[in-house]
Amino acid sequence: MSRRADTRATAAADDASAADASGSSSEGSVRRQPLLLYAVAAVSALGGLLFGYDTGIISSALLDLGRDLGLGTGQREIVVSAILVGAIIGAPVSGLLSTRIGRRPVVIGVALVFACGALVSAVAPDVLVLVLSRVVLGLAVGGASNTVPVYIAETAPPALRGRLMVLFQLMVAIGQLVSYLVGYLLAGPGGWRWMFGLAAIPALVLAAGMLPLPESPRWLIERGAADRARQVLGRLRPAGARLARAVDEEIAEITAVCRAGDAAPRGLRATLRVLGSRRLRPALLVALGVAAFSQLTGINAMVYYAPSMLTDAGFGGSVALITGIGIGVMLVLAGITGALSVDRIGRRRLLLWLMPASGAAMALLAVGFLLPGGGPRQWTVIGALFAYIFCNGAGMQSVVWLLAPEVLPLSVRGPATSLATATVWGFDLLIAATALSAVQAFGLAPTLLTYAVMNALCWVFVRRRVPETRGRTLEEVERLLCGPAPTHPGSEASQPPPFVAAGPEHPQR
C-alpha cells in the first residue's frame, strides 16, 4: 500500500513540476519569441492545410463525382480510400528520409508531390487515373502528417511547443473548412476537377516558403553539426543577455541524450531492432494507441461521409452540403480550442475531459437517426453531429499529432513517428473502406453506436497509459518515459522507469 502511495506522490510531483515549468516560462516568454519561430510553425503548418483540404474535399466532390462517373458504393469507398493507401506508404518513407537527409528537405519534397498529385487529379480522364493520382496525393499527406509535427516539435521551446504543434491540427481543420466551402461553391457537373486542382496553389506556397527556413537543430546535433545547431537556436530563441547561456544549455541537454549510447541507428535492420526493444515499448504503446483511437472513435467517418449519410437518410442535398460547411466550422473552432488548451490544461487531462463528451454526442447522433422524420430529428442529428465534431476535434484530434513526437526518443523519432502516423492512416483506411458498407450491412445507428463505444475505450486507455508531457523538454520526456539510455549496443534499461509506472495513476486534476 505504501508503494502505491509513493507512486502517486511521484506522479503528483511530476505533474506539479510540469505545471510549474509551463506556467513560469510560457507567460513571460511568449511575447518575446523571435518572428522566425512563428514563421517556422506557420509555413510548415501549410502542410496541415493541404492535408486537411485534400482529405476533406472528397466529401463534397464525391456527390458530383459519383453521379458523373456512375460510381457505386464500393467504388466510392475506393476513391476515398486511395489517398489513405498512399498515406500509409508516405508516412514511413518520409520518416526514413527525414532521418537521413533532414526534416526541411522532406517537407519541401512533400509540397511538390502535393502540387503534382492535385494537378493530375484535376485532369484525370477516368477513374483509374483519378485513383492513382489520389494515391500520389496520399504520399504527400502521409509525409506531411509525419514530418511537419516533428519539425515543429524540434524547433519549438517547451513553453510554446504544444500550441505551435497544435497549429498543424488547426491548419488541418482550416483546410477541411476551406474544402467544404469550395465544394459548396463549385458543386455541379465537372466542378470536382476544380476542387482537386486548387490544392496546387498552397502546395507551391509551402515549397517556396520552406526554402529560407532552417533545419531542425536536434537533427543537426545528432549529425554532429553542433555549430550549425547553435546558430539555428540563436535565431529561434528570445534575444537577451541569457541567450548564449540558454542555447548552450539546450545544446548540452540534447547532446547528452545523443551521447548516452542512444545514437540514431544506421540502416533498416538496426532501426527495426531499436523499435522492437523493451526500452521503447512504453513510448510506442502510447503513440500507437492514441494513433489508433484517433480514427476508431469515428472522426473521419463523419468528415468523409456525413453529407452522403445525411442524403441517404432523407436530408436534402443542399442541407447535406451546408452541414458539411458546419462540420468544417466546428473543426476550426475545435482546433482553436485545442491550441489554447494543450499548454494550459495539459494533453492528458484534455483527453480525459472531452472523450466522454465525444462518446455521448456520438451515441445521441445514433439515437437521432432512429427518430421519426421532421424538425426534432433534424435538429437532434445536426446538433449531436456538431457536438461530436467539436469534442473529438478539440480533444483527440488536437493531441494525436502532438503526442507522438513528444514521447518518442530522438534517436528513432523520425521512423517511430512515421510508424505512429502510418497507424493513423491504416485505421483511417479501415474506417473509410468499411463505413458505408457497415451502414448498409448493420444500419446507421448500430455503426454509430460502435464508434461511441470506441470513445469510451479510448478514455480507459488514456486513463491507464498516457502520461502528461506538458511543460517538459523532449529530452526530459524521453528520460522519464523510456528511462536511461543503454550504455552499450544491445543493452536495455534494467527496469521500467518510475514515470511509466506512475503514468496510469496520475491524479486527474
Angle CA 151–154–157, to nearest 5: 125
CATH number of the domain bearing residue 37: 1.20.1250.20
Instruction: Judge whether 107 and 231 are in contact, CB under 8 Å.
Output: no
SS (H, E, C) 409-458: CHHHHHHHHHHHHHHHHHHHHHHHHHHHHHHHHHCHHHHHHHHHHHHHHH
Is 160 within the bounds of a domain? Answer: yes
Does 25 fall in a domain? no
Rounded to 5 degrees, φ, ψ at 160 are -115, -5
Q: Kindly state whether residue 26 falls inside one of the protein's structural domains.
A: no
Residues with Cβ within 8 Å of residue 306, at least 6 apart in sequence: 59, 320, 323, 324, 327, 385
What is the structure's pLDDT at 1? 42
190: number of Cβ within 10 Å: 10
Residue 220 lies in a domain: no
pLDDT tens digits, the chain, 509 residues: what are they? 444 444 344 444 444 444 444 444 443 344 467 888 888 888 888 888 998 898 888 877 887 777 777 777 778 788 888 988 998 899 889 988 998 899 999 999 999 999 999 999 998 888 889 899 999 999 998 898 888 888 988 888 877 887 787 787 788 889 888 988 898 888 887 888 899 999 999 999 999 999 999 999 989 998 888 899 999 998 888 877 688 888 888 888 888 766 654 455 555 565 666 666 777 788 888 999 999 999 999 998 888 777 777 776 667 666 777 887 888 899 899 989 988 898 889 999 999 999 999 999 999 999 988 888 767 888 888 899 999 999 999 999 989 888 888 888 777 777 788 888 889 888 988 988 888 888 888 988 999 999 999 999 999 999 998 888 887 777 777 776 666 555 444 444 444 444 443 343 343 33
The closest of 466, 399, 468, 402 to 12, measured between CA atoms, is 468
**Residues 280/274, Cβ–Cβ less than 8 Å:** yes
Among 222, 229, 218, 283, which residue's Cα sits nearest to residue 258? 222
Q: Residue 133 and residue 123: Cα distance in Å, rounded? A: 10
Cβ(49)–Cβ(199) under 8 Å? no
Q: What is the domain extent for residue 42?
A: 32-213+261-505
Place of cell 528513432: 412
Q: Domain for residue 236, yes or no?
A: no
Whether 116 is in a domain gets the answer yes
Q: With residue 489 as reference, give the H or E element that holds it.
A: none
Provide the pLDDT for residue 472.
79
What is the Cα–Cα distance from 474 to 472, expressed in whole angstroms? Answer: 6
- The DSSP code for 277 is S
Count of structural domains, the chain: 1
Q: How far is CA 278 from CA 283, 334, 504, in A?
A: 10, 36, 19
Between CA 449 and CA 368 the distance in angstroms is: 11
**Phi, psi (degrees; rounded to nearest 5) at 498:** -60, -35
Q: Looking at this protein, which amino acid is placed at residue 440? A: Q
Q: Give dist(CA 435, CA 85) in Å, integer.
A: 16
Is residue 245 included in any domain, yes or no? no
382 inside domain:
yes
C-alpha cell at 466: 498516457
